[in-house]
Structure 1
Amino acid sequence: MAASRITTKQSPQSSSAAHGAVQIRIKSSQSSGDRLSQSRSLVLQESDLPPKPISLHRRNQSQHDVLGPGGTASQQPLLKGENLNVAKISEGGKKQRKNWMVTWTLLTSDQLLLHKEAPQGGRQKPGGQTDAVLLCGAVIDWTTQKSRRKNVFQITTNTGSEYLVQSDSYSTAIQWHDAIRRTIDSLTKSNGGFPLRRSNSSDYLPKHNSLPGYGSASPNTKQRSQVHRRSINMFSSSRLKHNTSDATDKNGVKNRLKKFIIRRPSIKTLQEKGLIKDRVFGCHLSTLCEREGTTVPKFIRICLDAVDKRGLEVDGIYRVSGNLATVQKLRFIIDQEEDLDLDHKQWEDIHVVTGALKLFFRELPEPLFPFTFFSAFVEAIKIRDSKHKVEAMKKLVRDLPKPNQDTMKLLFSHLLRVLDYSRKNLMSTQGIGIVFGPTLMWPKLDAGNMAVNMVYQNHIVEFILTESQNIFDLDKK
């Protein structure tokens, strides 16, 4: 056998690294073709090498370096390709519109490949869209809040991108979820924890120099770390520390609310400073009369006076509705305690005045006929004997609180004057009962038949209006 000579060739990069590629070539006197057939290379396996960061100067390299020629994956798939429903809802922390798409999904040893179309003949079509979801440092979990679909799990990468993956088949969904989770756990463990990436970059941030396979950090590396510290801290505070800070944030909000409630000024103080003004609409009748020092609210008096002056002969008075916007404007002025002149031209439509008056009665917290008297008035209206019915109604009216009694007396006296002009305004006792029945009384809990209650309400107002002279002793004045 011819003498052979062994030469050792070491790459320039391996001279400065702890590990390198060693090639052993056997040279003999045979032809070049024979020598090439006998050439052997001894190369360390990738599993024996520590993971290396992507070179910073290789700008033209594919971002993830995951596809080989023709668009085929360079790693052996852990799960064969399968059509899954995928929606990308966030990229780099920025939310995106959720659009579900059927994608040909392939799981490799370090990423999830999403193809728009299934490869034909084992090769991806030229120009086919492919998205690679890096699984190193990612988080996976089932979710029911991000989608109404069933069997949905979410993958969140270490760069802040979020993907929703779904399958109608539960067995398929659980198979992919478990396989992806095992891949994530394996990658995170083999890389010594959670690797961070720079914003808008595919480069891993350098790890601590004490980890095996990584040399001491250079000054340039430290300087770059300082430059990107702000973006890293922002990401870590919003993502890595999210779970631990949730409880603190909630407790902080609760404590601030407690302090605000304790230190907030009382309503009386705000009223004294003029920050809160007492309302007229929606105020309890007795409270309003006590505040104004009268037994009939001033707003009711000025409205009735205005109708007496220019509304008794108007067709459909109290039955016709006024302009709602103007009614609300009138209400606002009253609530602000501003001077109100109903003779002004902006209130020339008398139906606006009557509409505001009816609105005042409807918005009382307790109606003009108090809740506790509702059943008693209903029982009184059922009495067949007219004389006994009048006496029962008269007794109930006298038992009412003073503000309710005086307001009711003033209102029904006014409605009697409206009936005096019934030939011109075309309003009858029955018409007034229909308008004012539900406006002046209603049950506290409408547990009965609403239609039956409305009939009683109308009849009670009609009867009191017809017998006002006796019930309120109007003939004595």
Structure 2
Amino acid sequence: MRQNTENVPRKQLVRGGAGEKDRTNTGHELFLLMANSQSDLEEWVRAIRRVIWAPLGGGIFGQHLHATMSYESQCGPQRVVPVLVELCASFIREHGLKEEGLFRAPGQANHVRELQDAFDRGEKPVFDSSTDVHTVASLLKLYIRELPEPIIPFSKYTQFLSCAQLLSKDKEMAIVELSKQVKSLPQVNYNLLKYICK
């Protein structure tokens, strides 16, 4: 049975060309990417871009934290957290600490997507005075949300949950246990958690 594809979101990728092209370019081999929804299509395109740009230091959204830190340590000065996190945190500290609704009010979705794409291409966009602090906060939240494993790894979830439950019974013991659990995190996770909390 043939599926009706008239209203299916499509995007054409041109092999060996300048990236995405419209249908009028027939000189290159074309690949047609179809999806059930626009959001599925955008996710596919982002995933393909991540794979293409990852060897060049891009593709950091959705990349494991240790992979990002490993690559960044080879390409420049030793850092404690990814460049994206440093840039966002620095901008937020400078322009957003008195901003009402910071991390609650959404940023400009199109600008967040543009910044995400730029970082995924390995670029380091500059946030200037015209950049909305909510957009930068949304970008930082998106980066953290798209980590394949949370800052507190899945393997540590039960132990951290136990600390929270212990807090209502024995606050002092809970703090000691929580400190022990935080120190047992993988180093890159510990560094990111410490940096964000600071």
TM-score range relative to shorter protein: 0.5 to 0.7
Structure 1 residue aligned with 2:53: 277
Matched, 1:397 2:177: no
Equivalent position to 1:387, from 149, 172, 177 = 172
Equivalent position to 1:339, from 124, 134, 138 = 124
Distance (Å, rounded) in 1 between the aligned partners of 2:108 and 2:69: 28
Distance (Å, rounded) in 2 between the aligned partners of 1:359 and 1:339: 16
Q: Give the Å deviation of 1:338.
A: 1.5
Q: Give the Å deviation of 1:357.
A: 0.3
Residues 108-132 of structure 1 deviation map (CA, whole Å, 9 limit, x = unaligned): xxxxxxxxxxxxxxxxxxxxxxxxx
Matched, 1:299 2:84: yes
Q: Give the Å deviation of 1:344.
A: 5.4
Identity of aligned residues (%): 29
Pairs within 5 Å for 1:67-466: 276-278=52-54, 279-293=59-73, 294-343=79-128, 345=130, 348-383=131-166, 384-413=169-198
Q: Is the 8 A contact 1:295 1:402 kept in 2?
A: no
SS at match of 1:378: helix
Distance (Å, rounded) in 2 between the aligned partners of 1:344 and 1:320: 19
Distance (Å, rounded) in 2 between the aligned partners of 1:286 and 1:338: 19
Distance (Å, rounded) in 1 between the aligned partners of 2:176 and 2:190: 16
Determine which structure has the larger strand proportion and give its number. Answer: 1
Q: Is the 8 A contact 1:282 1:365 kept in 2?
A: yes
Q: Give the Å deviation of 1:337.
A: 1.2
AA matched with 2:65: L
Structure 2 residue aligned with 1:27: none
SS at match of 2:88: helix
Supply the RMSD in Å over aligned alpha carbons. 1.5
AA matched with 2:64: H
SS at match of 2:53: coil
Residues 387-416 of structure 1 deviation map (CA, whole Å, 9 limit, x = unaligned): 111111100010001110011001001xxx
Q: Give the Å deviation of 1:379.
A: 0.8
Distance (Å, rounded) in 2 between the aligned partners of 1:309 and 1:343: 11
Q: Give the Å deviation of 1:319.
A: 1.1
Distance (Å, rounded) in 1 between the aligned partners of 2:102 and 2:129: 19
Structure 1 stretches lacking a partner, 5+ long = 1-144, 147-274, 414-477
Distance (Å, rounded) in 1 between the aligned partners of 2:135 and 2:70: 27
Distance (Å, rounded) in 1 between the aligned partners of 2:53 and 2:139: 20
Q: Higher RCO, 1 or 2 (CA under 8 Å, sep at least 6)?
A: 2
Distance (Å, rounded) in 2 between the aligned partners of 1:343 and 1:291: 26
AA matched with 2:105: V
Q: Give the Å deviation of 1:325.
A: 1.3
Residues 122-171 of structure 1 deviation map (CA, whole Å, 9 limit, x = unaligned): xxxxxxxxxxxxxxxxxxxxxxx69xxxxxxxxxxxxxxxxxxxxxxxxx
Distance (Å, rounded) in 2 between the aligned partners of 1:295 and 1:363: 19
Q: Is the 8 A contact 1:285 1:364 kept in 2?
A: yes
Q: TM-score, normalised by structure 1?
A: 0.28
Distance (Å, rounded) in 1 between the aligned partners of 2:105 and 2:52: 34
AA matched with 2:128: D
